Amino acid sequence: MRTTKFILILICVLWCSYLFAQEINDQLLQFNQRNIDHQKTAMIALGGWAVANIGVGLGFSQSTTGETKYFHQMNALWNTVNLAIAGIGYWSISGADAAGWDLATGLSKHQNFQKILLFNAGLDIGYILGGIYLQERARRPDVNSDRLRGFGKAIVLQGGFLFAFDLINYFIANGKGADLDLRLGAVSNGIGLVWNF
């Protein structure tokens, strides 16, 4: 009789452990898939911004003159780089398999994405300052003032957009990490089994 009770208790514990582990795996898969989807969406948004700026920039740089022409030229040139980054970023994440990432890999990729966004936000501040510098430099004699002002204003615009883009995506990603932290806390405070002989 004792053996039967023991076996039933063991089966119940193992079954509950299996269900608990399955729930954790499902939550991890959802976490990984949300991160992949977020990165894809971010790259699509960056690519859309780039395509719009390239189209408008090429169109208006042909039909305008002076500072405005240079503003649109720089927007078009700047966004060829953005389009390349968006394309490479989308291509690299589109091959990712959320089910193939264990907890350590999923967290590592999530944190790396956040670090890249913060690093880029720092670069964006540098771009804005560089654009302001070009506008200030346009005041000097013997320089092409229209070009420097136009390029400077375009770089400030692009740096400002990228700064907002990177911070918004960082905070979105940071919120997703908080969900996983709560689940990990629940796991670490789970049920234990002690067997004394």
Distance between first and last Cα of the chain: 19
Give percent of the chain above pLDDT 90. Answer: 61
Q: Name the pTM for this structure.
A: 0.78
How far is Cα 16 from Cα 11, in angstroms, rounded to an integer?
8
Alpha helices in 64-144 (DSSP H): 66-94, 103-137
CA distances from 33 to 13, 28, 30, 51, 179 (A): 30, 8, 5, 27, 14
- Statement: residue 162 has pLDDT above 50: yes
Burial of residue 155 (number of CB atoms within 10 Å: 0-12, 13-18, 19+) = buried
How far is Cα 40 from Cα 70, in angstroms, rounded to an integer?
32
How far is Cα 143 from Cα 168, in angstroms, rounded to an integer?
38
CA distances from 45 to 17, 87, 97, 117, 182 (A): 42, 11, 22, 14, 29
Note the pLDDT tens digit of each residue in 12-48.
665 555 555 555 677 888 888 999 999 999 999 999 9
Q: What is the reported pLDDT for 112?
A: 93
Q: Is residue 138 very low, low, confident or very high in pLDDT (cuts 50, 70, 90)?
A: very high
Q: Is 79:53 a contact under the CB 8 Å cutoff?
A: yes
Q: Is residue 196 very low, low, confident or very high in pLDDT (cuts 50, 70, 90)?
A: low
Q: What is the reported pLDDT for 187?
A: 46
What's the rounded mean pLDDT across residues 133-137? 96
